């Protein structure tokens, strides 16, 4: 049980694969549109179940409770040698 007021992350399905806009790439159209949102629980909830949160901007969102006290993960990917050479080429 995760207590009301705890900082969490939820996942909500925005559009199913068949509901995506026409004209987008085929592989994108075959994938549902999902959003992940962080905020504070409005009531006690369990992981994997429907939950409601209030975001930092005051929005109320609902979705499946996925993570308690989520960590911000920022990654720019693997090192790319060509990018490392750009400054010497530009000069």
pLDDT in tens, the chain (91 residues): 999 999 999 999 999 998 999 999 999 999 999 999 999 999 999 999 999 999 999 999 999 999 999 998 888 888 888 887 887 788 7
Q: Are 24 and 40 in contact (CB under 8 A)?
A: no
Q: How many domains in the chain? A: 1
Q: Where in the sequence is the domain holding 34, given as residue range(s)?
A: 7-90
pLDDT at 73: 82
Is 1 part of a structural domain of the chain? no
E strands, 1-91, are 7-15, 33-41, 50-54, 60-68
Helix, strand, coil share (%) of the chain residues, nearest 5? 20, 35, 45
Is 2 part of a structural domain of the chain? no
Q: Structure pTM?
A: 0.77
């Amino acid at each position: 049980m995760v207590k009301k007021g705890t900082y969490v992350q939820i996942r909500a399905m925005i559009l199913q694969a068949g509901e995506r806009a026409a004209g987008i790439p085929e592989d994108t159209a075959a994938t549902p549109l999902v959003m992940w949102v962080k905020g504070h629980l409005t009531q006690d909830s369990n992981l994997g179940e429907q939950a409601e949160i209030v975001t930092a901007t005051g929005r109320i969102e609902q979705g499946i409770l996925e993570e308690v006290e989520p960590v911000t993960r920022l990654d720019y990917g693997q090192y790319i040698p060509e990018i490392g050479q750009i400054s010497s080429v530009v000069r």
